């Protein structure tokens, strides 16, 4: 079994675009949990263009009564970010090497170039009892460096896989992911994955053994819109008498 952790950043982005509390993020979280989702992910960025710091506190508070649901906070380990993580103490913190103004995460850590920062931050998370994960490209060399900085898990950055899906390169690319995952498992690391996963490409990806968690946001929102559209339009047409 793989835990589905739904990234709710896009819902917050939709809310923020209108400047008032609609849609309500917590309503979505409530609905997701009622549907059986066991993981919620947020990626607070310094400009709060998606989830805000307040959202992180609110969701964390809401999940306190749900010990069966894992809260994952991902982001660049600035002191502000770490203060927030320490304050809400999520089940997992995923460290991502993104810049404040970056559109979305687009690469994994260079572990050796950032070893001293990562070692320090990962030790602080361990001391606080928060499981840690490092966003990584699908590279055996990168995975081999992870025990040295002492993270609990890796999150495989899956955009390359998603891009290769359905092309001639797919088998070669997924083999790199499988090899990185096998190395991580051999080293005793847990394995998460995320970015650009969707209903089409996920089944093939999950043939890789030992994937503990996938975090999915963008496609899940698009698919919900596309697949929910017919029912909603039917209701509007009925109301307008068309």
CA angle centred on 151, ends 146 and 152, rounded to 5°: 115
Alpha-carbon gap, residue 71 to 73, rounded angstroms: 7
Q: Pick the catalytic residue: 50, 70, 74, 155?
A: 74
Q: Is 5 in the site for ligand PXP (CB under 6 A)?
A: no
What letter does residue 196 receive in the DSSP assignment? S
Q: Is 216 in the site for ligand PXP (CB under 6 A)?
A: yes
Q: Is 48 a catalytic residue?
A: no
46 close to 80: Cβ distance less than 8 angstroms:
yes
Alpha-carbon separation of residue 217 from 146, 167, 194, 195 (angstroms) = 26, 23, 9, 8
DSSP string, 153-170: EEEEE-HHHHHHTTSTTH
165 close to 118: Cβ distance less than 8 angstroms:
no
Q: Is 160 in the site for ligand PXP (CB under 6 A)?
A: no
Q: Is 74 in the site for ligand PXP (CB under 6 A)?
A: yes
Q: Is 104 in the site for ligand PXP (CB under 6 A)?
A: yes
Q: Pick the catalytic residue: 43, 50, 70, 213?
A: 43
Stretch that binds ligand PXP, among 28-36, 82-90, 190-198, 201-209 (CB under 6 A): 190-198
Of 60 and 72, which CB lies nearer to ligand PXP in the complex structure? Answer: 72
CB of 65 to ligand PXP, least distance (A): 26
CB of 80 to ligand PXP, least distance (A): 17
Q: Is 2 in the site for ligand PXP (CB under 6 A)?
A: no
Q: Is 107 a catalytic residue?
A: no
Q: Which residues contact 33 (CB under 8 A, 6 or more apart)?
A: 40, 66, 69
Q: Is 43 a catalytic residue?
A: yes
Task: For the segment 11-40, give every residue that binds ligand PXP (CB under 6 A).
Answer: none
Of 17 and 65, which CB lies nearer to ligand PXP in the complex structure? Answer: 17
Stretch that binds ligand PXP, among 164-172, 180-188, 191-199, 232-240 (CB under 6 A): 191-199
Backbone angles phi, psi at 76, to 5 degrees: -75, 130
Place of tokens 């979280």: 29
CB of 238 to ligand PXP, least distance (A): 33
- The β-bridge partners of 6 are 40, 216
Residues that bind ligand PXP (CB under 6 A): 7, 9, 43, 74, 94, 96, 104-105, 135, 155, 194-197, 215-219
């Amino acid at each position: 079994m793989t835990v589905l952790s739904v990234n709710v950043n896009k819902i917050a982005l939709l809310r923020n675009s209108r400047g008032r509390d609609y849609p309500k993020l917590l309503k979505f979280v409530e609905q997701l949990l009622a549907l059986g989702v066991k993981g919620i992910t947020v990626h607070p960025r310094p400009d709060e263009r998606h989830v805000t710091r307040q959202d992180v506190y609110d969701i964390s508070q809401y999940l306190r009564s749900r010990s069966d649901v894992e809260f994952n906070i991902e982001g660049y380990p600035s002191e502000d970010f770490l203060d927030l993580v320490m304050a809400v103490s999520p089940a997992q913190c995923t460290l991502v090497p993104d810049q404040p103004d970056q559109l979305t995460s687009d690469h994994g850590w260079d572990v050796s170039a950032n070893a001293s920062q990562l070692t320090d931050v990962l030790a602080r998370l361990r001391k606080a009892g928060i499981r840690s994960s490092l966003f990584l490209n699908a590279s055996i060399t990168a995975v081999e460096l992870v025990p040295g900085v002492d993270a609990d898990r890796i999150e495989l950055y899956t955009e390359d896989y998603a891009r290769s899906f359905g092309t001639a390169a797919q088998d070669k690319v997924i083999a790199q992911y499988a090899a990185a995952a096998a190395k991580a498992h051999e080293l005793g690391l847990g394995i998460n994955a995320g970015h650009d996963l969707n209903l089409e490409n996920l089944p093939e990806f999950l043939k890789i053994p030992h994937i503990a968690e996938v975090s999915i946001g963008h496609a899940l929102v698009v698919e919900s819109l596309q697949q929910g559209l017919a029912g909603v339009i039917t209701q509007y047409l009925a109301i307008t008498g068309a």
